[in-house]
Amino acid sequence: MNAELFAFVLYFVMLVGVGLFFFFKGRHRANEKEYFLGGRSMGPWVTAMSAQASDMSAWLLMGLPGSILAFGFGQMWIGIGLALGTAANWIFSAKRLRKFSKAAGDAITVPQYLSNRFMAKSHALQIICAIIFFVCFTVYVASGFVAGASVFTTIFPALSTKTAMLVFALAMLVCTFFGGFKAVCWTDFFQGLMMVVALLAVPIIIVATQNLDASALDAVYSYKDAVSGQTVECSFGAGVFSASWQEIVSGLAWGLGYFGMPHIIVRFMSIEKPSMVKKSATVAIVWVVLSLGATCLIAYFGRMLIAEELLTTGSQSMVFITFARMLFPGFLAGILLAAIMAASMSTADSQLLVASSSFTSDLYKPLLRKNASEKEILWVGRIVVLIVAVIAFFIASSKGEGAQAIMNLVENAWAGFGSSFGPVVLLSLFWRRFTYKGAVAGVVGGALTDVLWYMFLSESTGVYELFPGFIAGLLCSAIVTLIDKEPEAAVLEMFDKAMDPKLDE
């Protein structure tokens, strides 16, 4: 076994071990809140690193640097938008959501929180949210399987893509199925550390060892796209401050998505004390700035050193992998490649658990089995984890244009979540007058606008559908709320209770 392979296998053994550890440690006190929210006992460091690791998938190490490498610094506006969105989400939403979710019937999922926040007698909002979660997260998890399989086949060329995907899925399932939220958070903590160390190591070594030539940025490359069959021209562009207004608006709009991203904001609900949020926010913001900055540098240096090797074959997403193998000895290269697996898995396992918790807590328990025991809910949740993973596996391993079309939808899932839930979550935390009907209108209006804009206006305008979707969700929420009668006194009392400074500790 070579050193690179040894490091990679060591990582997977550790990952599976964490899942089994939390299963045996907590099997005597396992319940719904423990499995899906860690019993609201997560510390500030674990909360911060888990939130960021579950946020940044393999896209951070493959998709974003590949896009910048091919099309220039205008693509950096996505990273700028994400950094600003991360900071805003932690500063404005995190502490309030922790307090509000506790005050709103000790809610453990986002749909449950939104329903409890208005003391709703109807299950309409919960059902709408749970269906959106289940469908979108299944596709999201499928994309994680694809990314994980691509790294596996790079390290193990003899493996078929389907076999590699199966190994990745099984390792992730052990952690999520047995360990639940705590196992996911703790593995995300270590995976977040791996990701930031790997991202920082590459540009540092490049600066120390390589001769950089900025004139290489002027070269233009082209390749034939395997899906469309069209020739794609790769020009580095004029720079981040010379980007088009569409690139700037679309990039900044990415940041709006954070306010409605379920697998991220559920971390805010899990932290042990609201007073811990400040420390978590500091850790998270530093992490995301370092990680995104390093990613942009990797792409920038890649354009100078290995652009021709990658861009002429359409392999721009391999820039991090190529540098890892070029600059580091086998064992360290294996650790860096494991960081990509960490990124894929930390996002996929979080999304798998949130999809399961939403189905179990928002559909199964309130509608199908109101008197279900804690043990039954726990095992239904585990079974749903398995079902979602199996569906995602078949989506990811299918072939042909249909599968490719489904994978393309993953790029729009961020916009779908941000448009549907971002405005509603924000208003629920800051607007005392906000009503249940306004929340339903916001979710539906944001989602419909997002879909329609993507179908008919996205290509012609060049504007990311999240921006109009978010604005529409905000307007629908506000207009319907102002038309609707004021909330009942009990709802206003709950809002005031959540705002009580005594709950900060």
2-26 pLDDT, tens digit per residue, is 787 788 778 777 766 766 676 666 5
* Cβ 439 vs Cβ 475: under 8 Å: no
* Cβ 277 vs Cβ 268: under 8 Å: yes
Least confident of 97-106, 177-186, 422-431: 177-186
How many Cβ atoms are within 10 Å of 126's Cβ, its own excluded? 24
Using the 8-state DSSP alphabet, how is residue 362 labeled? I
Q: Percentages helix, strand, coil for the chain, rounded to the nearest 5? A: 80, 0, 15
3-state SS track over 129-148: HHHHHHHHHHHHHHHHHHHH
* Cβ 488 vs Cβ 434: under 8 Å: no
* Cβ 408 vs Cβ 157: under 8 Å: no
> Which residues pair with residue 223 across a beta bridge?
232
Q: Enumerate the H helices of 27-109 as residue ranges.
A: 32-37, 44-55, 63-71, 76-88, 95-103
Q: Is 225 left (phi over 0), alpha (psi -120 to 50) or beta?
A: beta
* Cβ 55 vs Cβ 261: under 8 Å: yes
Cα dihedral 293, 264, 130, 111 sign = negative
Return all residues near 394 (Cβ < 8 A) that are at least 6 apart: none
Confidence of residue 28 (pLDDT cuts 50, 70, 90): low
User: Dihedrals φ, ψ of 9, to 5°?
Assistant: -65, -40
pLDDT digits (tens, 9 = 90+) for 104-154: 988 888 888 998 999 988 888 888 887 888 777 787 787 778 777 877 787
Domain ranges of the chain: 3-113+124-223+260-401
State the number of CA atoms in the 13 A half-sphere of 432 facing the CB: 10
Q: Please, which contacts does 215-221 make with residues 24 or more away whose CB atoms are closer than 8 Å? A: 216/303, 216/304, 216/305, 216/307, 217/303, 217/304, 219/307, 219/308, 221/307, 221/308, 221/311, 221/312
Whole-angstrom distance, CA of residue 262 vs CA of residue 108: 11
* Cβ 484 vs Cβ 438: under 8 Å: yes
Q: In this predicted model, which residue has the larger pLDDT, 348 or 300?
A: 300
Of 107, 102, 101, nearest to 365 by C-alpha is 107
pLDDT digits (tens, 9 = 90+) for 175-234: 666 656 666 677 777 778 888 888 999 999 999 999 988 888 888 888 887 666 788 888
The secondary structure of 244-304 as a DSSP string is -HHHHHHHHHHHHGGGG-HHHHHHHHHBS-GGGHHHHHHHHHHHHHHHHHHHHHHHHHHHH
* Cβ 337 vs Cβ 154: under 8 Å: yes
* Cβ 343 vs Cβ 60: under 8 Å: yes
pLDDT surpassing 80 at residue 458: yes
pLDDT, residue 350, reads 74
Angle between the N-to-C axes of helices 401-430 and 262-270, in degrees from 0 to 180, rounded to the nearest 10: 40
How many Cβ atoms are within 10 Å of 208's Cβ, its own excluded? 8
> Which residues pair with residue 234 across a beta bridge?
221
Class of domain 3-113+124-223+260-401: mainly alpha
Place of tokens 């199996």: 390
pLDDT, residue 362, reads 77
Mean of the pLDDT values across residues 344-367?
A: 77
Of 388, 337, 332, 469, nearest to 130 by C-alpha is 388
pLDDT, residue 25, reads 65
* Cβ 137 vs Cβ 447: under 8 Å: no
Start-to-end CA distance of the chain, whole Å, equals: 51
pLDDT surpassing 80 at residue 399: no
Least confident of 42-46, 119-123, 480-484: 42-46
pLDDT, residue 46, reads 83
Residue 221, helix vs strand vs coil:
strand
User: How many residues in total does the chain contain?
Assistant: 505
Residue 447, helix vs strand vs coil:
helix
What is the reported pTM?
0.86
> Which residues pair with residue 42 across a beta bridge?
271
Return all residues near 106 (Cβ < 8 A) that are at least 6 apart: 33
Question: Which tokens hold the place of 339?
Answer: 């960081």
Return all residues near 36 (Cβ < 8 A) that are at least 6 apart: 108, 109, 180, 181, 353, 356, 357, 360, 361, 381
Whole-angstrom distance, CA of residue 139 vs CA of residue 407: 7
* Cβ 44 vs Cβ 372: under 8 Å: no
Mean of the pLDDT values across residues 388-413?
A: 66
